[in-house]
Amino acid sequence: MSHNEFLHEDQVKSQLSYKDLYVRIKPYLKRHALTLTILIFIVVLMAVVSRLVPTLIGYTVDHALIKKDKELLTSLLIGYVLLEVLTAILSLVQIFYFQKLGARILFELRDDLITKIQTYPIDYFNKNPIGRIVTRATNDVAQIGELFSNGVINIFVQGVILVSILVSLFLISFKIAIMTLVSFPIFYYLAINLSEKTKETLRESKKKLSQLNSFVAENLNGIRIVQLYNRINVNRNLFQTQSAAYKELSLQSTKNYALMMPVMNLFNAFIITSAFYFCGFWGQKEGLAVGSMVAFFLHALDIVHPFREILEKYQQFQNSLTSAERVFTMLDEPSEISISEKESNLSLKIFPSIEFRNLSFKYQNDLNWVLKKISLIITPGESIAIIGRTGSGKSTMINLLQGFYPAPKQSLFIGSLPIETIPKKWLRSKLSVVQQDNFLFKGTILQNITLESPDISEVKIKSIAEELGLTEHLIQTQRNLYSEVEERGANLSAGERQLIAFARILAFEPEIIVLDEATSNIDSKTEQLIQAATERITKNRTSIIIAHRLSTIRNCKRILLLDQGEIKAQGSHQELLSESSHYRDLIEKYNSLDGVSSN
């Protein structure tokens, strides 16, 4: 898939309104309803206390300073200090608990997202680069966290304070308050207009960042090819092109944000000038005491800070909103379709036979058929080999068996049950696959065998390792089951990764095994271990071997020749040698891997 196709796929299903965001966040807030209620009470109390300070100063002017009442002045100053201390304490408590609430919600949201990602059908990962998924699961989720630390929470806090200021102004003098705030709607409109322009820029910049991360992840995964074919300069140019597009959008967002500062400074000047002028001009006519005018002026000065904070955090809020759109789009993606064990008619014991019943399959309606009228029965305990050129449909058969793609109804059976009636969790507990390139996680060899399943004992793994010759091999290379494995098994050979995968099979004891034989060259001693391990894991198990080595093919009693999605021939090695020229051609190719005669 090209980068353009990836970009086309990187769309949000719908743009979230503020109401939509609340609806999506509400379930997380409800889990912490008591904490949230207490915090709302603290915020309201903070707003009330903050308005008592200018009122107290105004009262001090009228009743202590003008009247020269030292005793009252002392009491009022002590009261002022206590109010400031109370404000500081409430602010500390509010910040701490809002941050704590945000961290909890962020943890729950990230947990939900990671859990959901692991339920996606395989096709989702084919259409979406890992870099994009990682960006949404990390950057975008972290950005949503700003809603609770610096975004919507701060907007709420400052909003309550702003309302309390406006109420205080109107309580002192309705007429003067109206005249002072006449410029408020104009500056509010300008600020919101700038913020809305920023919103679309942020949305586009996140798409560019996702694309950039996808490019980086892809090239780091293929770093050996990059270096081997000297693609460093080519990649640098491609990266610079994509990075420049992201930079331009980021600069546009910064410009919009920078324009906000002059707007706020002008608003600040208008408020101060208006408060001075109208208090002086209308104050005496309104019969306001000097202290009341001082209080009014102090309240008016306080308007600018919460308004500035709201608009600044609104920018962050817009950023978080675009991240929320992307995260909730992922949460809304359909999970892999599977019925539950309660819904199925699953018997306690299913004989591990496999039947393909006139199965035809293609990945998309507008693509060609990958498998055509496949009919095949594999009896319990039977081991068969499938051979064919690249693109013949071998991997597709295995993908259908694992339930990664939906087979047409009544065309694929495990035991006597159609695969669509079998829960995928149960199916995959009975079927294991050894791939050509087996994925190993960072951790110990033991952890990679057990996959940290609590049901598999260490004693069992040690016995399996002894049986497969893995223990002896590790000792010879000065390692053991507790040796560390690097990411993707980078510090292990292909043969060692294969042996660990075989040990994993025996640890989980599946009834059906699919072995996609490795094509890479392996030293003769490890090759012997793998051949012995192959015989061990397939013994008394229904097994399908996608064979690439003649030695493996000759050991199978039944071999399927697959070509262009069709079974062209089947039989024993000798039967196919005598009956199929196509088979003989393939065998000649495999001879180069084993270096033995085909007879």
CATH number (domain holding residue 23): 1.20.1560.10
**CA 310 – CA 308 distance, rounded (Å):** 5
Phi, psi of 377 (to 5 degrees): -120, 125
Q: Please count the helices (runs of H) and the strands (runs of E) in the chain.
A: 23, 12
pLDDT of 101 > 70? The answer is: yes
* Whether residue 254 sits in one domain with residue 108: yes
pLDDT of 230 > 80? The answer is: no
pLDDT of 232 > 60? The answer is: yes
* Whether residue 371 sits in one domain with residue 279: no
Q: Is residue 518 part of a domain?
A: yes
Contacts of 81 (CB under 8 A, 6+ apart): none
* Whether residue 281 sits in one domain with residue 369: no
Q: Which H or E element spans position 545?
A: strand 542-546
pLDDT score recorded for residue 274: 85
- When pLDDT is averaged across residues 255-284 and rounded to a whole number, the result is 79
Q: Is residue 343 part of a domain?
A: no
Of 216-230, 395-409, 468-482, minimum mean pLDDT range: 216-230
* Whether residue 555 sits in one domain with residue 442: yes
Phi, psi of 142 (to 5 degrees): -60, -35
Q: Is residue 6 part of a domain?
A: no
Q: Is residue 349 part of a domain?
A: no
Dump pLDDT digits (tens) for 17-42. Answer: 778 888 888 898 889 888 888 888 89
pLDDT of 299 > 50? The answer is: yes
Residue 11 binned pLDDT confidence (cut-offs 50, 70, 90): low
pLDDT of 5 > 60? The answer is: no
**CATH number of the domain where residue 365 is located:** 3.40.50.300
* Whether residue 414 sits in one domain with residue 483: yes
**CA 310 – CA 316 distance, rounded (Å):** 10
What would the two tokens of residue 166 be?
């406006």
Q: Is residue 180 part of a domain?
A: yes
Q: Tokens 């109107």, residue?
A: 170
- When pLDDT is averaged across residues 260-273 and rounded to a whole number, the result is 80
pLDDT of 8 > 50? The answer is: no
Q: Is residue 436 part of a domain?
A: yes
* Whether residue 464 sits in one domain with residue 375: yes
pTM listed for this prediction: 0.71
Phi, psi of 154 (to 5 degrees): -65, -35
* Whether residue 382 sits in one domain with residue 327: no
Q: Tokens 């202590």, residue?
A: 64
pLDDT of 490 > 80? The answer is: yes
Report the percentage of the chain scoring pLDDT > 70: 91
The β-bridge relationship of strands 412-414 and 354-361 is: antiparallel
Q: Which of 450, 444, 532, 431 is nearest to 481 (CA)?
A: 444
pLDDT of 322 > 70? The answer is: yes
* Whether residue 365 sits in one domain with residue 451: yes
pLDDT of 6 > 50? The answer is: no
* Whether residue 27 sits in one domain with residue 160: yes
* Whether residue 27 sits in one domain with residue 166: yes
Q: Which of 250, 249, 254, 302 is nearest to 275 (CA)?
A: 302
Highest mean pLDDT, choosing among 93-107, 254-268, 374-388:
374-388
Q: Please answer whether residues 74 and 62 qualify as being in contact, where contact means their C-beta atoms are separated by less than 8 angstroms.
A: no
- When pLDDT is averaged across residues 423-435 and rounded to a whole number, the result is 86
Dump pLDDT digits (tens) for 80-97. Answer: 899 989 989 998 888 888
The domain in which residue 109 lies consists of 18-331
pLDDT of 150 > 70? The answer is: no
Q: Please answer whether residues 582 and 569 qualify as being in contact, where contact means their C-beta atoms are separated by less than 8 angstroms.
A: yes
Q: Is residue 337 part of a domain?
A: no
- When pLDDT is averaged across residues 424-438 and rounded to a whole number, the result is 84
pLDDT score recorded for residue 3: 43
- When pLDDT is averaged across residues 375-390 and rounded to a whole number, the result is 90
pLDDT score recorded for residue 4: 44
pLDDT score recorded for residue 348: 41
**Mean per-residue pLDDT of the chain:** 82
Dump pLDDT digits (tens) for 507-533. Answer: 998 888 998 876 556 667 777 888 888
pLDDT score recorded for residue 412: 94
pLDDT score recorded for residue 599: 54
Q: Which H or E element spans position 558?
A: strand 558-563
Using DSSP's 3-state secondary structure scheme, residue 12 falls into coil
* Whether residue 447 sits in one domain with residue 371: yes
Q: Is residue 150 part of a domain?
A: yes
pLDDT of 360 > 70? The answer is: yes
Dump pLDDT digits (tens) for 562-579. Answer: 999 999 999 988 898 888
pLDDT score recorded for residue 341: 55
Phi/psi region, residue 140 (left: phi>0; alpha: psi -120 to 50; beta: rest), is: alpha
Specify the number of domains making up the chain.
Answer: 2
Highest mean pLDDT, choosing among 291-300, 398-407, 548-557:
398-407
* Whether residue 289 sits in one domain with residue 186: yes
